[in-house]
Structure 1
Amino acid sequence: MRIQDMHWAQVEERVKEDDRCVLPVGSIEQHAYLSLATDMILAERVAVEAAEPLGVPVFPCLPYGMASGFADFPGTITLSLRTYISVFEDILDSIYRSGFRRILIVNGHGGNTPINPLIGEWMNRNRDTSVKLHDWWRAPKTMAKVLEIDPAASHASWMENFPWTRLKAAPVPNFQKERIDFAATSRVDAGRKRERIGEGNYHGVFQRPDSDMMEIWRVGVEETRHEIQHGWH
């Protein structure tokens, strides 16, 4: 259930029966030949599909995250850490005021994980809450399925190439890219990082059959649904 398909009074009634909700968070950043909004698209879609049978409201995805390493790729939008934490805290406060007490954050971007300490601090101030951060693409079962299909999987490679992250006017190449030097790219600025990673894929082929992608998606949705249903206390 998307929160955009509800009005305020329906939310007020809903939280009296069930105080769970889902907040997807993503990033707008380079993904080689895939959509700049890949992280946002995947986080929101997996959250909506996971929550739908349960009737749990899903807020619109927070599209912008922390992507300073990709700042020199046109189209990338990155927030500073202090800005992101402030925005995220304001969102949690608003969700709390609406009556939700169990909040699942479905994260689609590894660069957003510094919010972990903030979540802990926020729960200390709001002790009747439970907040979980779920990195859907690298959750245990989902990542196990990825590695079972092809262990050479990374940012902007085949593992993010779903029918809904592809672009009609941007054909995707089909070759195996060698693994980048992660240590070398982590110690330089965004300009030199762009030079070292080229089009943006970290390593692996750029695409795999849709049958492989649907296997991963099925596991990702099921694992996210399990997080909505269990482990709140």
Structure 2
Amino acid sequence: MKIADMNWMQAEERAKADDRCILPIGSVEQHAYLSLATDMILAERVSVDAAAPLGIPVFPVLPYGLASSFARYPGTLTLSLATYIGVIRDLLDSMARSGFKRILIVNGHGGNVPATTVISEWLNDHPECSVKFHDWWRAPKTMAKVLEIDPAASHASWMENFPWTRTDDPRQPTTSKPKVDFAKLARIGAGAKRELLGDGNYHGLYQRPDSDMLAIWDVAVSETRELLEGEWF
């Protein structure tokens, strides 16, 4: 159930009956030959699919995150850390004020992890609330499925190449990319990162059969739904 399909009265009624909701968060950043919006597309879709049979409202995805590492790739948009902290806190305040006290944040971008510190501090001031932070793509069951299919999986590689994250660019490589030097990547700025990464894939194939991707998606949706149905306090 998307909040976008509800009016304010329906949202109020829903929160009174069931105070669970989902906020997907993502990023707009380079993903090699995949959509710049890959992280936000996947975070929102896994949220909607997981929540659908439960009737839990899903807020529109927060598209922008912390993507300074890719700032030299055109199309990448990033917030500063100070801005991001304020945005996360303001959204939590707004959801709680709307009556949603059990909040699942479904994250689609590794750079957004600082949000967990904001959540921890916010919960100290809101003991009546419970917030779960879910990195959907590297949750235990989902990542186990990824590694079962192909351990050479990384940012902008096949593991993010779903039918709904592809572009119409015909230059999709059929080869496997060697693993990047992660230690070097961590100690250089955005310009040097672009030189090191080239197209942006960290390593591995660029695409695998859709049957593999849908198998991963089924696990990801189920694992996300388990968090909605599990213990909150």
Whole-angstrom distance in 1 between the partners of 2:166 and 2:56: 28
In the alignment, structure 2 segments of 5+ residues that lack a partner are none
In structure 1, the partner of 2:193 is 193
In the alignment, structure 1 segments of 5+ residues that lack a partner are none
In structure 1, the partner of 2:221 is 221
In structure 1, the partner of 2:99 is 99
Query: TM-score, with normalisation over the residues of structure 2?
Result: 0.99
Whole-angstrom distance in 2 between the partners of 1:171 and 1:127: 51
Which digits, 9 at most, give the CA deviation of each residue in 1:106-133, with x for residues without a partner?
A: 0000000011111011011011000000
- The CA deviation at 1:17 is 1.0
Amino acid of the structure 2 residue aligned with 1:135:
D
Confirm or deny: 8 A CA contact 2:33 2:169 kept in the other structure: no
Alignment of structure 1 residues 58-77 onto 2, 5 Å: 58-77=58-77
Report the more deviating stretch, 8-17 or 20-29.
Answer: 8-17
In structure 2, the partner of 1:3 is 3
In structure 2, the partner of 1:152 is 152
Structure 2 SS opposite 1:183:
helix
Query: TM-score, with normalisation over the residues of structure 1?
Result: 0.99
Which digits, 9 at most, give the CA deviation of each residue in 1:146-196, with x for residues without a partner?
A: 000000000000000000000123441111100000010110110001000
In structure 2, the partner of 1:121 is 121
Structure 2 SS opposite 1:111:
helix
Correspondence 1:207 to 2:207? yes
Amino acid of the structure 1 residue aligned with 2:175:
F
- The CA deviation at 1:87 is 0.8
In structure 1, the partner of 2:41 is 41
Structure 2 SS opposite 1:134:
strand
Whole-angstrom distance in 1 between the partners of 2:192 and 2:15: 49
Structure 1 SS opposite 2:123:
helix
Which digits, 9 at most, give the CA deviation of each residue in 1:24-60, with x for residues without a partner?
A: 0000000000000000000000000000000000000
In structure 1, the partner of 2:230 is 230
Amino acid of the structure 2 residue aligned with 1:114:
P
Amino acid of the structure 2 residue aligned with 1:46:
V
Structure 1 ranges of 4+ moved more than 6 A: none
Aligned residues: 233
- The CA deviation at 1:16 is 1.2
Amino acid of the structure 2 residue aligned with 1:20:
R
